[in-house]
Structure 1
Amino acid sequence: MSDRPIDSAIWSAQDIRVTAHRLATVREAALAGETPSDAPSPRAVIGESWRRVRVSGVDPDGEQQQNPLPVAELEHRRQMSRLSPVLPVLNEGLLAAADAAQQIMVVTDAEGRVLWREGSAPVRRMADRLGFDKGADWREGVVGTNAIGIALVARRPVLVHSAEHFVRSHHQWTCAAAPLHDPRDGRLLGTVDVSGPAPGFHPTTLSLVSAVARLAEGELRTRHHRTLERLRSSAAPVLARIGGRALAVDPHGWVVGVTGLTPPDRVALPKSPEAGPLWLPRYGMCTLEPLPGGWLIRIGQQERDTGPSRVVLDVSGRDGSTVTVSGPAGSWSHELTPRHAELLFVLAAHPQGRSAAELARDLFGDDSRTVTVRAELSRLRRHLASVLAHRPYRFADGVEVELRLPPQPVHLLPQSLAPAVAAARRG
């Protein structure tokens, strides 16, 4: 068999059984280490996957044991996933077609964990019997040859039909998957897949899945550009006040503004940069200062303290809240979402710090909602960087915090239902 997508002739009702039998013959011969003269070889992408799976010890005739993610961990991965913002693109491009064809659409993370699954209810029930549910691990080494697993390894779109699946219980299925990459750095984010019973699968499905994956990556690219524009606007006045050489970059090192030097496209930052001295291969010793949504990089040694020195949390207005951070490069302000305003208010009211469980109780009255709290704090730290510390969560040491409250306590964060805010309103 060639390595191109399987010919459309296999999708006719009269040929489907013949094709399935032919693929089964190829699989059985390959598993037995034989190459009969009257049976074609598997497609290269399938043969390579079978070899990897056999080394992994997957039982081709047994049931594959799944250890799905706990509900809290699944929700955490969903909230932190870079694919969450493009779900509407994936749904619009694939879900209606999948549902009409009695298929399901699946989105996984880069580790092969199923984060979202939508589509035909009868097919979802069939998938349940295979363990193909939210939180499942669909890597090759766990469930054998499948489109998701191959796409994660080969980093390209792939279709797997009938007995091309390594595990016999999957032979009634056909799946088409495409990888999804972060346009900022090319990092693999996960896959999008359409799966279902083989007779209902259309030969153009792989092309459709591939096209929608490219649309989703385009949406991520557009969102990145918008983020850079917002950072560029906030960084411009800071750069204008600086003498010497400096750059403003996003958390991934993409440059939005410079002063005193030729602008590069990107600067290589550490995986988890922190404010303070930093050696960069291109520029030598530098210092990092936080910007809302990024970093200010001063090139060369700095004599003065480079960290933020003062934070003003203003929750006095009825229409919105802001946080203003002052440091060596001047000051900048960031508008807060209602949830982030609640979080910072609680931290300002408890300078000694709060654990995730305590914050969950402060915000939701339920100390078990720590996953939500950690996700919100992770988002908040994208803007405030070293202003916040953790273990416990608190404002960083050495930062002066001013909390500006409304004249009447009853007007504090009027839209908030958080127990801690309600208690503060009562005085």
Structure 2
Amino acid sequence: MNATSTAWTASTASAPSTVNLARISTMDSTQAARLLAGVRQAALSGQRSRVLPRPVIEESWERMMLDGVDPDHDFRSRLLSVEELEERRRASPLTEIMPVLRDALVSVADAAHHIMVVCDAEGRVLWREGNSTVLRKADSLGFELGADWGESVVGTNGIGTPLVVRRPVQVFSAEHFVETHHAWTCSGSPISDPRDGRLLGVVDISGPLNTMHPATLALVDSVAKLAEARLREAHVTALDRLRSVAAPVLARLTGRAVAVDTHGWTAAVTGMPPTDRFALPKSLTLGHTWLPSLGTCAVETLPGGWLLRVEEDPQPLAATRVILDVSAPRRWSVTVEGGGAGSWTHELTPRHAELLYLLSTHRRGRSASGLADDMFGDPTRTVTVRAELSRVRRYLGGLLVHRPYRFTEDVDVKVILPEHPANLLPHSTAPAVREARRAAEP
């Protein structure tokens, strides 16, 4: 069985005898593990290696060294109590999709001597099922219910690393930063809430080194996408229910009004063109609020959502400050302050966090082709950039203008950066973000 199909690149700056190793998929698991152990040791000792780790692993190792994670010994965090575990399960939307994950993965994991592990967005193990023998082996690693498998606690792994980089990752043998995990291979894929892009957690398939197959990561990623699709179906059903309640209410109103769910998705409108979604403050309450895309609104409750009635007479309240917070490795937000409108915060998707960061570094503006080059290294991908910025302007309204894209001149923009450059949007593969990480290194 092939140990992994992961591509590896050699250092081009080495001596002419450097091995240009394109793949290790032809090796058995023992050979691959031995090679990776040498790569890891070279990285830890600061030596030049003939073979470099994959970028996602190399960047994770850099974060681990900055965070002071011990590469030689594992660290056991406090387990959640039974009560805490049950409370997290009840509060997590992952509970709704556990039947999907079980049906698709548990029987496969059991037969292949693997286990399926589902964690929340903090890396806490909420569910763990599969082969009983492997479950007992996992206990010896602290891979238990309620354990914290965040990257900053146990190092590079198939749960914590996908949570940081927000994409599927397979971590094979010595790619794990902590040596005690080298006998394992983990394949994890993040799961996001389709309603707001919020990271919900990760589903992972783990097992002993010699049982892992290179196709495991593709399987796990496909199941994660299936689970997100089920959440999306449930959301559509909930919007239909809200629409049936809101329609007769809106029919009796004059002026502009919109019925939205608690995430701002539109169920029905009157007196205005339909918009898919409106950004809402985190703590929306009855009374009056100001939204960049609507102005001042009267807020009333509906079963499963809100009724927003646009007040036509009051003057729109101009925001004067935008605070972009990209200091955390997994969650990012934009806060709008000033002009008497109070303060409200919107959690950002990974792509929107990238775009707003790039715009904050180009206060004089950036064209669509320039942003496409910054994001993808391809200036022709302007359609994607324009579509994403159109979504951003739904919650920032007139604070962003175009031709070129930029924050308005009268807005004060503050960016809260992470303490270490390596933690700047660690999920991002955008060339401009990667260059910003390198440029800020001491």
Question: Taking structure 2 as the reference length, what is the TM-score of the superposition?
Answer: 0.65
User: Which stretch of the first structure deviates more once superposed, 293-302 or 181-190?
Assistant: 293-302
Give the whole-Å Cα distance in 2 for the aligned partners of 1:149 and 1:300.
46
The reply on whether 1:173 has 2:194 as its aligned counterpart is: no
Residues 294-321 of structure 1 show CA distances to partners (whole Å, capped at 9, x for unaligned) of 0111111799xxxxxxxxxxxxxxxxxx
Match of 1:2 among 1, 7, 31: 7
Matches within 5 A, 1:353-368: none
Partner of 1:220: 231
Task: Kindly indicate whether the alpha-carbon contact (under 8 Å) linking 1:287 and 1:302 is maintained by their aligned counterparts in 2.
Answer: no
Change (3 A) 1:302 1:249: farther
Residues 223-273 of structure 1 show CA distances to partners (whole Å, capped at 9, x for unaligned) of 111110011011111111222221110001111111111111111111121
**Aligned alpha-carbon RMSD (Å):** 1.9
Structure 2 unmatched ranges of 5 or more: 1-5, 10-21, 315-442
Give the whole-Å Cα distance in 1 for the aligned partners of 2:252 and 2:224.
43
SS at match of 1:9: coil
SS at match of 1:35: coil
Matches within 5 A, 1:65-144: 65-144=76-155
Residues 194-250 of structure 1 show CA distances to partners (whole Å, capped at 9, x for unaligned) of 001010111210110011011011111111111100110111111112222211100
Q: How far does residue 53 in structure 1 lie from its aligned partner after superposition?
A: 0.6
Counting aligned pairs with the same residue, the percent is 57
Residues 175-212 of structure 1 show CA distances to partners (whole Å, capped at 9, x for unaligned) of 00001111112121111000010101112101100110
SS at match of 2:262: coil
Partner of 1:311: none
Partner of 1:293: 304
Task: Kindly indicate whether the alpha-carbon contact (under 8 Å) linking 2:121 and 2:202 is maintained by their aligned counterparts in 1.
Answer: yes
Give the whole-Å Cα distance in 2 for the aligned partners of 1:196 and 1:81.
25
Residues 266-301 of structure 1 show CA distances to partners (whole Å, capped at 9, x for unaligned) of 111111211111112222221111100001111117
Task: Kindly indicate whether the alpha-carbon contact (under 8 Å) linking 1:53 and 1:144 is maintained by their aligned counterparts in 2.
Answer: yes
Partner of 2:32: 19
Residues 37-63 of structure 1 show CA distances to partners (whole Å, capped at 9, x for unaligned) of xx4111211111111111111111123
Change (3 A) 1:208 1:98: same
**Rg larger in 1 or in 2?**
1
SS at match of 1:91: helix
Task: Kindly indicate whether the alpha-carbon contact (under 8 Å) linking 2:36 and 2:174 is maintained by their aligned counterparts in 1.
Answer: yes
Residues 115-140 of structure 1 show CA distances to partners (whole Å, capped at 9, x for unaligned) of 11111111111111111111111111
Match of 2:211 among 176, 183, 200: 200
SS at match of 2:52: coil
Give the whole-Å Cα distance in 2 for the aligned partners of 1:155 and 1:3.
21
Matching residue's letter, 1:42: P
Give the whole-Å Cα distance in 2 for the aligned partners of 1:63 and 1:44.
23
Give the whole-Å Cα distance in 2 for the aligned partners of 1:86 and 1:7.
35
Matches within 5 A, 1:278-357: 278-300=289-311
Task: Kindly indicate whether the alpha-carbon contact (under 8 Å) linking 1:2 and 1:44 is maintained by their aligned counterparts in 2.
Answer: no
Give the whole-Å Cα distance in 1 for the aligned partners of 2:266 and 2:246.
11
Partner of 1:270: 281
Partner of 2:393: none
Structure 1 unmatched ranges of 5 or more: 304-427
Matching residue's letter, 1:28: Q
Residues 22-79 of structure 1 show CA distances to partners (whole Å, capped at 9, x for unaligned) of 111111111111124xx41112111111111111111111231221222222111111
Matches within 5 A, 1:232-247: 232-247=243-258
Residues 388-416 of structure 1 show CA distances to partners (whole Å, capped at 9, x for unaligned) of xxxxxxxxxxxxxxxxxxxxxxxxxxxxx
Matching residue's letter, 1:40: V
Partner of 2:43: 30
Give the whole-Å Cα distance in 2 for the aligned partners of 1:174 and 1:33.
25
Matching residue's letter, 1:29: A
Give the whole-Å Cα distance in 2 for the aligned partners of 1:197 and 1:229.
46
Give the whole-Å Cα distance in 1 for the aligned partners of 2:313 and 2:246.
19
Q: How many residues align?
A: 297
Give the whole-Å Cα distance in 2 for the aligned partners of 1:235 and 1:299.
16
Residues 350-377 of structure 1 show CA distances to partners (whole Å, capped at 9, x for unaligned) of xxxxxxxxxxxxxxxxxxxxxxxxxxxx
Matching residue's letter, 2:198: R
Give the whole-Å Cα distance in 2 for the aligned partners of 1:248 and 1:48.
44
Task: Kindly indicate whether the alpha-carbon contact (under 8 Å) linking 1:102 and 1:200 is maintained by their aligned counterparts in 2.
Answer: yes
Give the whole-Å Cα distance in 1 for the aligned partners of 2:312 and 2:272.
16
Partner of 1:344: none
Partner of 1:350: none
Matching residue's letter, 1:281: P
Give the whole-Å Cα distance in 2 for the aligned partners of 1:285 and 1:42.
53
Question: Taking structure 1 as the reference length, what is the TM-score of the superposition?
Answer: 0.67
Matches within 5 A, 1:57-68: 57-68=68-79
Partner of 1:211: 222
Partner of 1:362: none
Matching residue's letter, 1:9: T
Q: How far does residue 7 in structure 1 lie from its aligned partner after superposition?
A: 4.7
Give the whole-Å Cα distance in 2 for the aligned partners of 1:46 and 1:135.
25
Give the whole-Å Cα distance in 2 for the aligned partners of 1:87 and 1:221.
15
Match of 2:161 among 150, 153, 178: 150
Change (3 A) 1:80 1:6: farther
